[in-house]
Amino acid sequence: MSGGDFGLEVLGCNATAPSASGPASGYVLHSELGAILVDAGPGTMAAYAARYELERVRAIVVTHMHADHSLDLMAWAYRWTFPAARERIPLYLPRGAEQALRGFDELYGIPTLPGMHRPIEQSFRVTTLEMDGDTRHELPGWTMISFEARHAVPSAALRFERAGRAVAFSSDTGDCPGVRAAAAGSDLFVCEATWIDEPDADSAGHGHLTAAQAGRIALEVGTRSLLVTHLADRSASAEALRLAAEQFGGPVRIATAGMRL
């Protein structure tokens, strides 16, 4: 992808952990102004660094602090502070993430290296996402709005707008008003479908969707195209695609590592 293009690239989309099918969750929004990373799951930094200059990153947004979406923040912090410190990267996180970040620094800070006493603190300029569906953050190349998703921990559905186009991310979530508002009328909706088709899958209230629910939400909120991601069982991709498409009726794809749209 050349510097002038804009669009979405999947670094990884596994719901479990890095595996043969690639890293855990991580996406890049490209524009001529650089790259915005959405999620930093394990393996995504290596995937990014294999393809692009690290300096192209303008901001990192983490939807929620589960490890499969956030663990590579520490990898970024080490790379960002060693061997030489760089200008801090804007980092957007849901409420409650500060404690996890402090924990990272307490565990992995290196007291004998001045640039790495607290690698996270020294790498990032942190902003807490409002998740109010209203506040607009101007990021290089994109305007970002965050919404309250429904998950076991604070979780932000995201909407990025640029030149009259919108890309939405569900984060990990059950069906809820926030994810629907984020995706409403979007050109591309990146929606989790952790489960394939289990009617009681979310009965414990953890907050995940099935492929059929992803398709139904996309239809009901009028999104133009659907990218189904975060499958717990990738061997069931064809079935997930069928179930989502059956509900949605519009263009649907299953995310794979390295995919560009």
Among residues 66 and 118, whose Cβ is nearest to Zn ion?
A: 66
Using alpha carbons, select from 3, 2, 24, 19 the residue that is nearest to residue 11: 24
Q: Does 159 bind Zn ion (CB under 5 A)?
A: no
What is the nearest approach in angstroms of Zn ion to the Cβ of residue 261? 23
Among residues 66 and 216, whose Cβ is nearest to Zn ion?
A: 66
3-state secondary structure 195-253: ECCCCCCCCCCCCCCEHHHHHHHHHHHCCCCEEEECCCCHHHHHHHHHHHHHHHCCCEE
* C-alpha gyration radius of the chain: 17
What is the nearest approach in angstroms of Zn ion to the Cβ of residue 7? 25
Query: Interface with Zn ion by CB under 5 A: which range of 137-145, 171-179, 184-192, 236-244?
Result: 171-179
Residue 159 and residue 232: Cα distance in Å, rounded?
24
Binding map of Zn ion across residues 51-90, x = CB under 5 A, - = no contact: ---------------x------------------------
Among residues 38 and 116, whose Cβ is nearest to Zn ion?
A: 38
- β-bridge pairing 89-93 and 124-128: parallel
Left, alpha or beta for 34 (phi > 0: left; psi -120 to 50: alpha)? Answer: left
Residue 59 and residue 56: Cα distance in Å, rounded?
9
Query: Interface with Zn ion by CB under 5 A: which range of 28-36, 137-145, 164-172, 180-188?
Result: 164-172
Among residues 72 and 172, whose Cβ is nearest to Zn ion?
A: 172
Q: Distance from CA of residue 1 to its chain's centroid? A: 20
Among residues 105 and 172, whose Cβ is nearest to Zn ion?
A: 172
What is the nearest approach in angstroms of Zn ion to the Cβ of residue 172? 3
**Sheet containing 26-31: which strands, arranged edge to edge?**
7-12, 26-31, 34-38, 57-61, 89-93, 124-128
Among residues 9, 172, 175, 202, which is the contact residue for Zn ion, using CB under 5 A? 172
Where in 121-140 is the site for Zn ion (CB under 5 A)?
none
Q: With residue 69 as reference, give the H or E element that holds it.
A: helix 67-70
What is the nearest approach in angstroms of Zn ion to the Cβ of residue 37? 17
Q: What angle do CA 68, 18, 120 make, to 5 degrees?
A: 50
What is the nearest approach in angstroms of Zn ion to the Cβ of residue 100? 13
What is the nearest approach in angstroms of Zn ion to the Cβ of residue 202? 13
Query: Interface with Zn ion by CB under 5 A: which range of 100-108, 165-173, 198-206, 218-226?
Result: 165-173
What is the nearest approach in angstroms of Zn ion to the Cβ of residue 76? 19
Identify whether the C-beta of residue 41 lies closer than 8 Å to the C-beta of residue 61.
no
Using CB under 5 A as the criterion, which residues of the chain lie in contact with Zn ion when the complex forms?
66, 172
